[in-house]
Amino acid sequence: MALTISPELLRPARTRISVRSVVRWLPALPLVILLLIALVGPTMLPFDPARTVDQSSIPPGGTYWFGTDASGLDVYSRTIAATRLDLIIAGSVTLLATAGGCALGLLLGMNESHGGVPGLGARGVSRLLDLLQAVPPMLVGLVVVAFFGTSTLTIVLAIAVILLPLQARLVRTETMRVRSEAYLDAARLAGESELGLTRRHVLPNAIDPALTNLSLIFAVAIIITAGLGFVGAGVPPPTAEWGAMIAAGAADVQAGRWWAATFPSLALALSVAAVAMANQAFLRHRRR
């Protein structure tokens, strides 16, 4: 006699699984909200972020929700408009640094595994990574921007080069560890090609630390972006950018006009926290 299970008995389990899935992804909600602000926020601004309004240094409230700065620019409109630019820069840097770091770290790790002696090219690349990590990131960014200009593309490439060694070293170390595992030797004896081993076993395991490090790369990228804007080496004015806004409003804080620097600072901090929370939710999902 066949055993049958009523659909009604399965429905509560499905409901519990669905609730657990929603709760598991709740930490990613702030990032979703942030992305929506970056996507549609600049199209719904009450004022032009690059044009002055009636008065300067107006406190928050009424018509000007975040007040106006010393130049008469609406702080709310500029904070929202800067969200898209800063997230695009930080996101692009994170993708480039991670993709380049994973590729470079994988090549270096495969070259040096099993006691192999790295060639001149591999040694040169390793020393270059050491040099990039030894120099303060802001200094590298300032030098690159000074030589190639302050365009958005230049800033993205400069910060990506700064952060690429962080990902490359993680992937290189993990690649060397994975390639020394005994099960890979067994697979080689069974006739598995090196390309197949790399694709099926080495690569998925080697890039895991780089994925775990995504929130840190994003946080450092957006802080360096704001730092370049703070010292005047970021995106040229009158484009709205959080770092430049903080620099413009910092001088007014001592005079009691705190809002021009406070709101972009909060936006910067909340964006870093949102990405970190979403990254943790993603990592928990991958480990299940």
Instruction: Tell me the DSSP string of 131-199.
Output: HHHHS-HHHHHHHHHHHH-S-HHHHHHHHHHHHHHHHHHHHHHHHHHHHT-HHHHHHHHTT--HHHHII
Q: Does 60 or 111 have the greater pLDDT score?
A: 60
Instruction: Say if residues 234 and 247 touch (Cβ distance below 8 Å).
Output: no
Residue 181: closest CA among 200, 202, 210, 212? 202
Whether residue 236 has pLDDT greater than 70: yes
Q: Does 82 or 182 have the greater pLDDT score?
A: 82
Residues 6+ apart with CB under 8 A from 263: 66, 75, 76, 79
CATH architecture of the domain formed by 28-44+65-287:
Orthogonal Bundle (1.10)
User: What mean pLDDT is predicted for residues 141-164?
Assistant: 86
Q: pLDDT band for 112, please (50, 70, 90 cuts).
A: low
Q: pLDDT band for 81, please (50, 70, 90 cuts).
A: very high
Separation of alpha carbons 217 and 93, rounded Å: 8
Q: pLDDT band for 13, please (50, 70, 90 cuts).
A: very low
Output the pLDDT for position 122.
67
Residues 6+ apart with CB under 8 A from 198: 106, 110
User: What mean pLDDT is predicted for residues 266-275?
Assistant: 91
Output the pLDDT for position 212.
83
Whether residue 17 has pLDDT greater than 90: no
Kindly compute the dihedral angle of the four CA atoms of residues 62, 247, 267, 283, in this order, to the nearest 10 degrees.
Answer: 180
Record the pTM. Answer: 0.82
User: What mean pLDDT is predicted for residues 52-73?
Assistant: 86
pLDDT digits (tens, 9 = 90+) for 177-213: 877 777 766 777 776 666 767 777 777 888 888 888 8
Give the range with max mean pLDDT: 144-148, 202-206, 215-219.
215-219
Q: pLDDT band for 174, please (50, 70, 90 cuts).
A: confident
Separation of alpha carbons 218 and 213, rounded Å: 9
Separation of alpha carbons 269 and 254, rounded Å: 21
Whether residue 1 has pLDDT greater than 50: no
Please state the separation of Cα 57 from the chain's center in Å. 33
Tokens of 124: 């040169």
| Burial class (CB within 10 angstroms; exposed 0-12, middle 13-18, buried 19+) of 51 | exposed
Helices and strands (H, E) in the chain, number of each type: 13, 0
Q: pLDDT band for 117, please (50, 70, 90 cuts).
A: very low
Whether residue 171 has pLDDT greater than 80: yes
**N-to-C CA span, the chain:** 36
Separation of alpha carbons 238 and 30, rounded Å: 28
Q: Does 257 or 188 have the greater pLDDT score?
A: 257
Quote the mean pLDDT of the chain.
81
Whether residue 266 has pLDDT greater than 90: yes
Output the pLDDT for position 121.
61
Question: Please, what is the Cα angle at 187 between 183 and 192, to 5 degrees?
Answer: 150
Domain boundaries, the chain: 28-44+65-287
